Every structure is written in C-alpha cells, then in structure tokens.
Structure 1
Amino acid sequence: MTPPPDPAQDARAEAFLRAHLPPAEVAGTGLRLHLAGPRSGLARLVPAGGTPYWAHAWPGGVALALHLGAHPGTVRGRPVLDLGAGSGIAALAALRAGASRATAVDSDPLAAMAARLNAEANGLPPPRALTLPPDRLAESTAAAPPGATILAGDIFYDAEAARQATAALDAAPPDATILVGDIGRRFLPLDRLEPLAAYPARDLGDPPSAPAREGWVFRWRR
C-alpha cells in the first residue's frame, strides 16, 4: 500500500529537485526535464537501494517523445496513459501534441513530483499522477478511457518486468492504441511488436563520444 503523502517531506523533495536538478533540454525533443547530473547528490533524496528512474531521460521514452512530435495525430484529441512514466517525458510530449489529457503511471511517488515539475518547466498542464506497484500495472490499462493511446517506454527491462508489462498491455481495452518505446533490450517480446520507426537515442551511461543508438517505437500486437 502506498503510504499517505507527507506535505513537509514533499516540500523538501520539491525544493531539492528545483535546486539540484536544473531543467535541461533532451536533444531533439524540445522538452526540458529536471535531470540528474554527476553532482546532483540524489543519495540525499532517494532511499538506500532506490533507483531514481524519474531523474533520467531513458531512450524508449525519448523515442516515444520524438515519434509523437513527428506524428501528433497519434494522440491529438485522445486521452493518454503513460506506463512506467518516470520523468513523464512521453506524457508531456503527448500533451504538447494535443492529447486531451494524460495520466502518468509509476511505482515511485517521486515520479509524480518530477512529472509535475517537468510539465511546469515546459509550460504544459501537469499529467494526472497514478502511483501503483508494478504488479498492479494492469489495473491502470484495464481502466483506460475509450479511444486511449497507451505509451510504454523502457518497461521491458528484466524478465519479471516484461511479464508484468505484457499482462498490463494485454489488459488494455480493444480500442486502445498501444505504442512501446525501447532501445532493443533482450526481454522485449518481439513476436508481439510491430516496428514503426527508429530515432536517435542514448542509453544511460553512454559516453558523449559514443554514436547514437536506435530508439525504436513499436505497435503492440494483440
């Protein structure tokens, strides 16, 4: 169960993000995010053993953002659900492209704060935040509104995550459009994916001198 919000703790976390993770533009997307750098000191904010996925621009989310910028009709006028939203980059790209509303789903409560601050940094309305553990991801997709576009960036990162992600995407209403963004991780169920486009993207830890990788956008096959 998600603990109740602590306003004082939330205020400290927001002040930390504003002070130590200044907004930086994600190349090619036109979006600015509060991103971690070498001197951000996130260990002072994130519990021991925690992983601040929301503090980085992951390649699958970047690919989805680039795809929505190139194909805004994919989401224009439609509700959007961003699974494993992290920084909220895909949800924000959808709102900028004309989505009627967006919901950012993540297991980390700090991701909701990051998505809100990132929306503010881009002059966009904040996506609705939904905090759910990974094993309840299917609840959000099953309840997706009619005609929704579901965005899933970087959620096939290990075997268990891939199992949960597959169950969640299969639980979506039949009229939903489902797009998956990924750099080609080994746990991708390629037999369920139809490649749509590839965009230049960098994985976390790639040195600046390394050539860009291909960040793929796929359509989920029922």
Structure 2
Amino acid sequence: MKKLILLLTIILAGCSATKTDQVDVFYSPHPDDEVLSLGPAIIHALSSSKDVHVVLLSKGKASKAINTVNERLEAEGHPTISVEEFGDAREEEFKTAVEALGVSASNVTILDLPDGKLNKDEISEIIVQKDKLSDKVVHHVMSDQDPHSDHSVTGQALHNLIDAEAVQNGKFYFPVQEHENFPFDNRIQLLSKHQQSRMMEALEAYEKWDPASGSYSIGKISVPDYFITAKNNMESRYHYKPTD
C-alpha cells in the first residue's frame, strides 16, 4: 500500500501545472462518471476559461458488462476480450469522451486503482497532490451520499480534508440517476446548442460498437438508462457542504 501511495505521489507531482488564479479538478471514479454526472459541470468550467483537470481513478475492470460484451462478440464471430483488454477499452472510451468535452490531454490523469475497492486514504493523497496545482483549486467529487461506495468514498475523502483544513474548496455531485432523490444546493444546466452538442458527443463515445477498432459500447451496455437520463437532463447537481 505504501508503495502504491508513493507511486501515485510521484505520478501526480509530475503533473503540476503553472499556477493560475483557479484550477478546477474533477475526479471520476470510473469511465463514464465524468460525463454522466460531471459532464455539464466540466463544460461549464471550460466555458468560463478555467484551467480544468480530470482524474480517472479506476478503469472499471470489475464491471459485469464484460459478460454482455463477450456474449455479443461471440454471437458476431469476434474473439472475446480479457479483463485487461476490457479495462483498456474503457480507458479509450474515457479519453474520447473527455476530449469531446474539451479537456486538454495534458490535463488528464489516468490511474488504475482497484475497481470496487477505492480507498479513502488513497483518494485523499491524490486530492492533496492536485491541490498543489494552484493557490486556489476547486475539487469536484461525487457526493458522500452517493449509494455507490466507489463514488461516495471520493466525497468522504474531500469531506475529511476540508474538515482538517488540508484543502479549502470543493463541490459534491449527485449521480445523474439519483437527481430526483436528493436535495441539492445548485445545478449546472447546458442551455446552448453548442454545449449540448459537446455533451452529446462525449456521451456517444460510450456508445460506439466497432470491435475492429477496439470499441465495445461498454458505457451504454453497462448503464443504458443512465445515458438516456443524461441526454434528457443535460445538467449536473451538487451540494457545497459535506453531509454529517
């Protein structure tokens, strides 16, 4: 564990950018979270000419969607894929999506922490390292109320860091499929056609089925209803203060 933390520290320290007035860092537990729940907020931050960074914490290799993908591959006469190939394909979907959102590739950090076992201490270390990007960093995480443990642990980690005054600024986002189940402090809606087009392009990165190019529509296969909701809502919802 100590070796892993040290490795992450080295990786993230090497990603330091020139200090600016404000840097916004978005933490995506798995590929597709950065679009489904955080996408509108990322687009809005970029439209405000802010320095936006995105951190992928896990490649999502524990997803059971691999079974559906392999069943379809077999049915179409294609070779099946391994867990590692599945993770690599999810990473490629993520890269395509963040590019569509407008995030610079140099501002993207991709990690491969254990899917389903994200650890609060590890997440805290990552947040602390990213806080060094600027004198003012706003950290965007999933809410500590999120029913998914890999999501809520990001909110818990930021909660603890704010309480300890190790970092100062944060927003806690609700997953798109839970928008109607939690009260929120604010929302970011995409109203212009240009912004909505960018959001749609990012979502579509998870819908492409082309085995010859290594695209397996993993996001859509995994949570199809969430993609429908995201397309209809075009918004991110968040709260400012950690919950008790």
Give the TM-score normalised by structure 1.
0.46
Structure with greater proportional helix content = 2
Give the TM-score normalised by structure 2.
0.42
Larger RCO (alpha carbons 8 Å, 6+ apart): 2
Give 1 or 2 for the bigger CA radius of gyration: 2
